[in-house]
């Protein structure tokens, strides 16, 4: 069974640009959540989607947005990139959100560098 797949693996962008990251959850998983990981702050929750609806949102500015498609695949978008957006962006999937958090599976992440 394939794991959570995130693409691309690495991205280099310049300030002011926008970026779209993709996440394909484990087959059958309907919930996708996104986290930002930086050395100083650790993992911080961005948002969570279930059945194409955003269920939860973290404390990030509106430049960070996401969506989920009918096949449960998810994308997140960051507009007007800032240097501080450089981070590892992790996607995690689960069968049904909150029902069994023991089975929250993470992808390997997209490493975003903003120059």
Partner 1 sequence: EDQVTQSPEALRLQEGESSSLNCSYTVSGLRGLFWYRQDPGKGPEFLFTLYSAGEEKEKERLKATLTKKESFLHITAPKPEDSATYLCAVQARGSSGDKLTFGTGTRLAVRP
Contact between residue 108 and residue 51 where contact means Cβ atoms under 8 Å apart:
no
Roughly how many angstroms between the first and final C-alpha of the chain, as a whole number?
37
Question: Smallest distance, Å, CB 51 to partner 1?
Answer: 12
Show contacts with partner 1 in window 23-82 (CB under 8 A).
31, 33, 35, 40-45, 48, 50, 55-56, 58
85 in contact with partner 1 (CB under 8 A): no
Window of 14-22, 62-70, 75-83, 92-100 that interacts with partner 1 by CB under 8 A: 92-100
For residues 58 and 69, give the distance between their C-alpha atoms in angstroms, rounded to a whole number. 20
Angstrom CA distances, 25 to 8, 65, 98, 104, 114, stand at 15, 18, 16, 11, 26
Please give the residue ranges that form the binding site for partner 1 (CB under 8 A): 4, 31, 33, 35, 40-45, 48, 50, 55-56, 58, 90, 92, 94, 97-98, 101-109
């Amino acid at each position: 069974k394939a794991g959570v797949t995130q693409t691309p693996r690495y991205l280099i962008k310049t300030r002011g640009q926008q970026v779209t990251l993709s996440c394909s959850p484990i087959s059958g998983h309907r919930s996708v959540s996104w986290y930002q990981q930086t050395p100083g702050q650790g993992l911080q929750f961005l948002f969570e989607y279930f059945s194409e609806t955003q269920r939860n949102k973290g404390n990030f500015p509106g430049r960070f947005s996401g969506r989920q498609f009918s096949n449960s695949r998810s994308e997140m978008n960051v507009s007007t990139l800032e240097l501080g957006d450089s981070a590892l962006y992790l996607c995690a999937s689960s069968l049904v959100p909150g029902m069994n958090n023991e089975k929250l599976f993470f992808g390997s992440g997209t490493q975003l560098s903003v120059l």
